[in-house]
């Protein structure tokens, strides 16, 4: 279905037609709905809804208006399956359950979702049906009737997002005369929204029902905040959702009694009757707490909880509605949680909001990938976006006593790792990434409070990393922590320039952070360590005769990833950067995230045309093309695969920031853009560009247009900040211009 160019893998510019069945919301008596009927001897009825190229994520929900069992009495069964591309529109969806993170030795899902991409609904009633959380985003929703001879009429098929991922609109903007550039900017912004996991809690209210789930590494129990002082009955209105990967009835456990003792009552509520049937069950209530315990792969849906005293009088009720939560007993202390989809009457496993490496696959925080992704967050969503803060806090918490920081910890870990526990991706390289990520967060946001909060973790990490240097002054890998970007398993003990550049960045950025926080003595120590390590890198990895860089000690030649890191890290000077770029004329720097690194480095060195060539040779334009029928988000490694493992919501291949930082030309010089540089790098033929960069002091506004051989620049400098122009002029954000300046470049 997809034509690819033979060399670069870009999608050819051909319009792909795909038949879409539309399920519209019912409106009054004359609304539209879809009737699926499998007539004897006829074809299975299947319809598909296209939610649009920017995709959606959350919980599937729909209304059943009417249904007809098959002649043999079998109830209708509806199958929903999710996909991001037409190739994945199939009964099991586009992401088979078996394709999980085996190389990490972890199990999906990190969030309480269906690890597969399809679900089954038995239809024994009319009314609202709500699904478990879909694993990641989707563009296409396939709806099929699975029961020959049956019929069902459904309406208002929707994907509800009660705070699952961020839909906060960007406050940064970018516009220009090239609509393709604008599309790539939006591509990366949407990717970050889909991977910004907002309050990934175990329990959530969706469409008026409580959907408790077993949260990976987060515990299985939840308690009600209400504390009864009498014996009576706990009455539940409950249904179950069928899991297509596990046969047998669904169940969950209900307990009542004292909070800190063995519950007086434990009762397992099992599925009785068809999936989707709502029924009422009663459990003896003892004074104290009551709550639920979940097992993995069990999907109860709870519609109402009531507490009755011995006389049958209702003392308390939670119907999970939006207009209130029932009768307030004198023993109930309400703590209303403002989070979307929160369950204010209950205590259950929760997690911080965070930016995940991918919204669809393992959904973990990855320290190194944050460095690629974080700038899009700052330029698009500003300094107060909670997801980067949460990701940094999660990493800092998951630190061993020696200072080693886990590469990809679970967001809900509630105890720091023990000595020698290096996590499921044991990597000195990824431990070192924490410090550059924290520094850039401070540089772009000016968030001194978070910088001071996390500095102790950063300092412990730096001290740990210093123990990993050998007598030759470079990183000495050891087996226990030897996983890295080139190797998913421990065992490669090669000394590589790539890892050493990350260590050097840690010293350099740790020194910057310490200096900014007033820790001058520690900054001086790290500055010396940075200089010594830089000298060792040049001595060991640079060929003095040719000026070429070697990737591995003992081997000649540099690979694309090493070249990309040399450019992106700021280690090379302008002449060294230009030499490397000239010697790689095919603009091939490997997969998408490494191309993104190389391209940013080229912009930093003023190699604008080469940087734009890297973008053109990648798949960013293909993914943003209206002809692309898949998700308009950046994928893992920037591949164009249409089914399977390759996550469509990987922000580490987002390059939205470059349009504001280099095409508009706005980069911070001091934390929080207190002082910033404005140095546009206009592509050949681009007539104009404009946009906003959000900062703690207000929006920086830039608009430029070509005039003759130069640029006419309109600039708004927020009050209390200063802008430095390429010719050295400094523009202040104050009267008499109220921060607005018109200049020629």
359 and 309 share one domain: no
In a domain, 386, yes or no: yes
Considering the domain architecture, whether residues 612 and 487 belong to the same structural domain is answered as yes
Average pLDDT over residues 596-615: 94
Confidence of residue 115 (pLDDT cuts 50, 70, 90): confident
**Separation of alpha carbons 147 and 75, rounded Å:** 7
- Please report which confidence band the pLDDT of residue 315 belongs to, taking 50, 70 and 90 as the band edges: very high
Average pLDDT estimate for 374-399: 97
pLDDT of residue 5: 27
* Domain-embedded: residue 320: yes
Q: pLDDT tier at 85 (50, 70, 90 boundaries)?
A: very high
Residue 704: band (very low, low, confident or very high) from pLDDT cuts 50, 70, 90 = very high
330 pLDDT above the threshold of 80: no
251 preceded by a cis bond (ω within 30 of 0)? no
Residue 82 has pLDDT above 70, yes or no: yes
Query: For residue 23, is it within any domain?
Result: no
Q: What is the DSSP string of 670-703?
A: SGGGSEEEE---PPTT--EEEEEEEETTEEEEEE
Average pLDDT over residues 317-346: 57
Please state, rounded to an integer, the average pLDDT across all residues of the chain.
88
Q: pLDDT tens for residues 140-175?
A: 999 999 999 999 999 999 999 988 999 999 999 999
326 pLDDT higher than 70: no
The Cα–Cα gap between 489 and 482 comes to: 8
- How do residues 463-521 score in pLDDT, each as one tens digit? 999 999 999 999 999 999 999 988 889 999 999 999 999 999 999 999 999 999 999 99
**Do both 602 and 491 map to the same domain?**
yes
| pLDDT on residue 22 | 41
Q: Is residue 180 part of a domain?
A: no
Q: Which helix (H) or strand (E) holds 224?
A: strand 221-224
Question: In terms of domains, do 671 and 592 share one?
Answer: no
pLDDT for res 564: 93
| Whether pLDDT at 399 is above 90 | yes
Whether residues 467 and 519 share a domain: the answer is yes
Residue 701 shares a structural domain with residue 563: no
Is the domain of 620 the same as that of 534? yes
Kindly state whether residue 188 falls inside one of the protein's structural domains. Answer: no
* Final residue before a domain boundary, out of 347, 367, 402: 347
Domain boundary, last residue among 302, 330, 347: 347
| Residue 555: partners with Cβ closer than 8 Å, 6 or more residues away | none
584 phi and psi, to 5 degrees?
-130, 65
Asked which of 663, 686, 714 is the last residue of a domain, the reply is: 663
Per-residue model confidence (pLDDT) at position 358: 86
Looking at the domain assignment, is residue 170 inside a domain?
no
How many CB atoms within 10 Å of residue 556?
Answer: 10
Q: Are residues 677 and 652 in the same domain?
A: no
The answer to whether position 490 is within a domain reads: yes
- For residue 435, name the pLDDT band (cuts at 50, 70, 90): very high
pTM score: 0.92
**Which whole-number Å values give the CA distances from 104 to 108, 271, 280, 290, 500, in the listed order?**
11, 34, 42, 37, 24
Query: Between residues 111 and 57, which one has the greater pLDDT?
Result: 57
User: Residue 14: pLDDT above 90?
Assistant: no
pLDDT of 334: 38
More confident residue, 239 or 340: 239
Q: Give mean pLDDT, residues 128-143.
A: 91
Ordered DSSP codes for 311-334 = TS-EEEEE---SS--S---TT---
Q: Is the pLDDT of residue 332 over 70?
A: no
Q: What is d(CA 607, CA 570) in angstroms, rounded to the nearest whole number?
A: 14
What pairing do the DSSP bridges indicate for beta strands 265-270 and 251-257? antiparallel
Q: How many domains does the chain have?
A: 4
Residue 2's pLDDT is what? 25
Q: Which residue has the higher pLDDT, 33 or 504?
A: 504
Do 422 and 533 lie in one domain? The reply is yes
- Show the beta-strand stretches assigned E in 177-220: 196-197, 203-206, 209-212
Mark whether 306 and 392 lie in a shared domain.
Answer: no
CATH classification at residue 716: 2.60.420.10
Going by pLDDT thresholds of 50, 70 and 90, the confidence category of residue 708 is confident
- Give the per-residue pLDDT at 32: 55
CA 412 to chain centre: 15
Residue 198 lies in a domain: no
Instruction: Sort strands 46-50 and 251-257 into parallel, antiparallel or unpaired.
Output: unpaired
- Residue 6 scores a pLDDT above 50: no
Q: What is the CATH number of the domain that holds 284?
A: 2.60.120
Q: If pLDDT is split at 50, 70 and 90, which confidence band does 629 have? A: very high
Please write the tens of the pLDDT for every residue from 653-686. 999 999 999 999 999 999 999 999 999 999 999 9
| Pick from 36-40, 202-206, 454-458, 728-732: least confident | 202-206
- Going by pLDDT thresholds of 50, 70 and 90, the confidence category of residue 33 is confident
Distance, in Å, from the CA atom of 153 to the CA atom of 129, rounded to the nearest integer, reads 13
| Domain shared by 261 and 386, yes or no | no
613 and 484 in one domain?
yes
Residues of the chain with pLDDT > 70: what percent? 90
Checking if the pLDDT of 3 tops 60, the result is: no
pLDDT at 100 (0 to 100): 63
The range of the structural domain enclosing residue 271 comes to 203-347
Structural contact between residues 284 and 334, judged by C-beta atoms closer than 8 angstroms: no
pLDDT value for 734: 82
Q: Indicate the pLDDT class of residue 363, thresholds 50, 70 and 90.
A: confident
End-to-end CA distance of the chain: 48
**CATH (domain of 383):** 1.50.10.10
Whether pLDDT at 9 is above 50 = no
Does pLDDT of 104 surpass 80? Answer: no
pLDDT band at 261 (very low <50, low <70, confident <90, very high): confident
Specify the pLDDT at position 432: 98
Rounded Cα distance between 594 and 605, Å, is: 17
């Amino acid at each position: 279905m997809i034509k690819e160019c033979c060399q670069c893998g870009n999608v050819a510019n051909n319009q792909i037609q795909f038949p879409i069945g539309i399920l519209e919301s019912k409106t009054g008596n004359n609304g539209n709905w879809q009737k699926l009927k499998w007539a004897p001897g006829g074809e299975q009825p299947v319809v598909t809804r296209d939610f649009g190229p920017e995709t959606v994520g959350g919980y599937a929900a729909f209304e059943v208006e009417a249904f007809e069992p098959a002649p043999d009495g079998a109830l209708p069964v509806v199958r929903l399956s999710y996909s991001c591309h037409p190739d994945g529109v199939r009964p099991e969806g586009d992401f088979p359950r078996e394709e999980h993170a085996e190389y990490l030795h972890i199990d999906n899902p990190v969030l309480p979702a269906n690890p597969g991409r399809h679900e089954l609904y038995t239809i024994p009633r009319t009314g609202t049906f709500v699904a478990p959380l879909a694993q990641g985003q989707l563009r296409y929703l396939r709806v099929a009737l699975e029961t020959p001879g049956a019929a069902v009429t459904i309406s208002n098929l929707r994907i509800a997002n009660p705070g699952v991922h961020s839909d906060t609109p960007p406050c940064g903007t970018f516009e220009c005369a090239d609509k393709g550039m604008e599309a790539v900017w939006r591509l990366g912004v949407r990717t970050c929204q889909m991977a910004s996991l907002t309050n990934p809690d175990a329990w959530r209210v969706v469409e008026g029902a409580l959907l408790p789930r077993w949260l990976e590494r987060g515990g299985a129990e939840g308690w009600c905040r209400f504390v009864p002082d009498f014996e009576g009955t706990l009455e539940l209105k409950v249904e179950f959702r069928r899991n297509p990967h596990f046969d047998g009835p669904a169940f969950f456990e209900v307990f009542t009694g004292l909070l800190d003792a063995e519950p007086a009552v434990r009762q397992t509520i099992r599925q009785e009757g068809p999936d989707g049937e709502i029924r009422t069950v009663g459990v003896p209530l003892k004074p104290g707490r009551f709550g639920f315990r979940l097992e993995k792969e069990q999907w109860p849906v709870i519609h109402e909880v009531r507490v009755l005293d011995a006389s049958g009088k209702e003392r308390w009720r939670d119907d999970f509605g939006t207009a209130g939560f029932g009768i307030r007993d004198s023993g109930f202390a309400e703590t209303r949680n403002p989070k979307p989809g929160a369950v204010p009457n209950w205590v259950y496993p929760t997690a911080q909001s965070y930016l995940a490496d991918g919204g669809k696959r393992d959904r973990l925080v990855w320290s190194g990938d944050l460095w690629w992704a974080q700038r899009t967050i700052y330029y698009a969503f500003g300094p107060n976006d909670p997801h980067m803060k949460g990701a940094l806090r999660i990493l800092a918490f998951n630190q061993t006593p020696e200072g080693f920081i886990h590469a990809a910890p679970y967001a809900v870990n509630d105890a720091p790792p023990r000595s020698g526990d290096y996590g499921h991706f044991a990597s000195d390289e990824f431990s070192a990434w924490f410090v550059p990520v924290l520094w850039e967060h401070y540089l772009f946001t000016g968030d001194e409070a978070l910088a001071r909060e996390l500095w102790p973790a950063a300092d412990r990490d730096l001290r740990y990393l210093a123990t990993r240097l050998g007598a030759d002054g470079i990183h000495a890998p050891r087996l226990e922590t030897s996983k890295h970007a080139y190797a998913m398993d421990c065992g490669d003990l090669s000394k590589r320039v790539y890892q050493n550049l990350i260590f050097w960045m840690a010293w350099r950025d740790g020194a910057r952070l310490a200096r900014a926080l007033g820790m001058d003595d520690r900054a001086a120590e790290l500055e010396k360590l940075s200089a010594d390590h830089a000298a060792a890198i040049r001595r060991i990895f640079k060929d003095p005769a040719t000026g070429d860089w070697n990737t591995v000690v003992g081997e000649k030649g540099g690979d694309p990833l090493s070249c990309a890191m040399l450019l992106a890290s700021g280690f090379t000077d302008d002449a060294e950067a230009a030499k490397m770029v000239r010697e790689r004329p095919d603009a091939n720097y490997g997969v998408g995230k490494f191309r993104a690194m190389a391209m940013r480095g080229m912009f930093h060195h003023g190699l604008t045309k080469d940087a734009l060539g890297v973008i053109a040779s990648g798949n960013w334009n293909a993914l943003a093309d209206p002809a692309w029928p898949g998700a308009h988000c950046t994928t893992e490694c920037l591949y164009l695969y249409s089914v399977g493992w390759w996550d469509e919501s990987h922000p580490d291949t987002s390059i939205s920031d470059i349009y504001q930082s280099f095409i508009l030309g706005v980069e911070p010089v001091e934390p929080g853009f207190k002082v910033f540089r404005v140095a546009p790098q206009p592509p050949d033929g681009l007539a104009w560009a404009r946009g906003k960069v959000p900062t703690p002091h207000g929006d920086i506004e830039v608009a430029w247009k070509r005039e003759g051989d130069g640029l006419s620049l309109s600039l708004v400098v927020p009050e209390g900040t200063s802008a430095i122009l390429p010719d050295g002029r400094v523009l202040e954000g104050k009267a008499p211009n109220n921060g607005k300046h018109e200049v020629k470049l």
